[in-house]
Amino acid sequence: MMKASKRLLTLALLTSCFALASAEQLYISDKLQAPVRAGSGDNYRITKMINAGEPVEKLATRNGYVQIRYDGNRTGWIHSQFLMDEPSARNYIEEAKARYEPLLKENESLEAEIERLKQQEESNIQKLNDEKNAMASEVEILTAENEALKLEIVELKKLYSHEMELAQKNEELNKQDHVQKVEITRLKQENTRLQDANRSNEWTVGALILLGGIILGSAILPRLFAKTRRKRSWDF
């Protein structure tokens, strides 16, 4: 045990000499663990490595060491250089961390909410862009359909105009046909009248011929018979 203590003391002296020789200023880290010894000297065994910043109760001082009470009722000696009147910066940091931890969490929540809103905004923008593109495509399709309808209307107007011309021509032809039918009917009636008149004339002529024949026969035949009788009488 004594040999180990001497080795530790020698190592500490060598470290101190090296620090003085290099003239480098050093700072003790808050993560340092201070040794608690069984007595007030470096030759006493280490009974506990106590963390920096832990609160202890001062009981007595001797040879640069301070007797402390820690972990409830446990006691020991620690070099005074490891003690200070105020809590270490680590304590302040832990206290500040405890105070600002909710704020940090709230900040993280706000950042997460902001990120969510950004993603939602991007999603909404993408959705609006998709809807805009869809509407643009629909407008393009409707425009093409409208142009096609316009062309179809033009063709229908041409067809309607042509049909109107055909209808007018048909009406004119119907009128002409009606006039021709009326004329044909008139001509047929005239032909019938002429035929009837011709037949009447024929009957009249025939009757006149017959009458003339009768008259002629009545006037001429008696004379012929008389001559014939005379001739016969002469022959006898």
Q: Is 28 within the bounds of a domain? A: no
- Asked if residue 137 and residue 75 are part of one domain, the reply reads no
pLDDT at 104: 78
- Asked if residue 185 and residue 104 are part of one domain, the reply reads yes
- Asked if residue 163 and residue 128 are part of one domain, the reply reads yes
H/E stretch holding 59 reads strand 57-62
Q: Is the pTM of this model over 0.75?
A: no
Q: Compute the distance between CA of residue 143 and CA of residue 149 in angstroms, rounded to an integer.
A: 10
Cα Rg, the chain, nearest whole Å: 75
- Asked if residue 55 and residue 129 are part of one domain, the reply reads no
- Asked if residue 102 and residue 66 are part of one domain, the reply reads no
Q: Compute the distance between CA of residue 56 and CA of residue 83 in angstroms, rounded to an integer.
A: 9
Q: Is 215 within the bounds of a domain? A: no
- Asked if residue 106 and residue 62 are part of one domain, the reply reads no
pLDDT at 20: 39
Q: Is 67 within the bounds of a domain? A: yes
Query: Where is the domain boundary, 147, 171, 189?
Result: 189
Query: Where is the domain boundary, 147, 173, 189?
Result: 189
Q: Is 175 within the bounds of a domain? A: yes
CATH code: domain of residue 41: 2.30.30.40
Q: Which CA distances in Å does 7 have to 2, 62, 64, 82, 108?
A: 9, 23, 20, 21, 52
Residue that has been written with the tokens 């047929």 in this structure: 188
- Asked if residue 108 and residue 70 are part of one domain, the reply reads no
- Asked if residue 155 and residue 68 are part of one domain, the reply reads no
Q: Is 5 within the bounds of a domain? A: no
Structural domain that includes position 178: 86-189
Contact 75, 69 (CB under 8 A): yes
pLDDT at 23: 44
**Number of Cα atoms under 13 Å in the Cβ half of residue 6:** 3
Contact 68, 59 (CB under 8 A): yes
Q: Is 226 within the bounds of a domain? A: no
* Amino acid in the structure at residue 15: T
Do the strands 46-51 and 57-62 form a parallel or antiparallel pair, or are they unpaired?
unpaired
- Asked if residue 136 and residue 43 are part of one domain, the reply reads no
- Asked if residue 79 and residue 90 are part of one domain, the reply reads no
- Asked if residue 162 and residue 92 are part of one domain, the reply reads yes
Mean pLDDT in runs of 10 for the chain (236 residues)?
46 44 45 85 92 86 92 91 76 69 83 91 89 88 89 84 82 85 86 78 75 72 62 53
The angle subtended at Cα 141 by Cα 135 and Cα 144, nearest 5°, is: 140
Query: Where is the domain boundary, 43, 59, 85?
Result: 85
- Asked if residue 94 and residue 68 are part of one domain, the reply reads no
The domain total for the chain is: 2
Question: Measuring CA to CA, which residue among 37, 76, 23, 30 is closest to residue 54?
Answer: 30
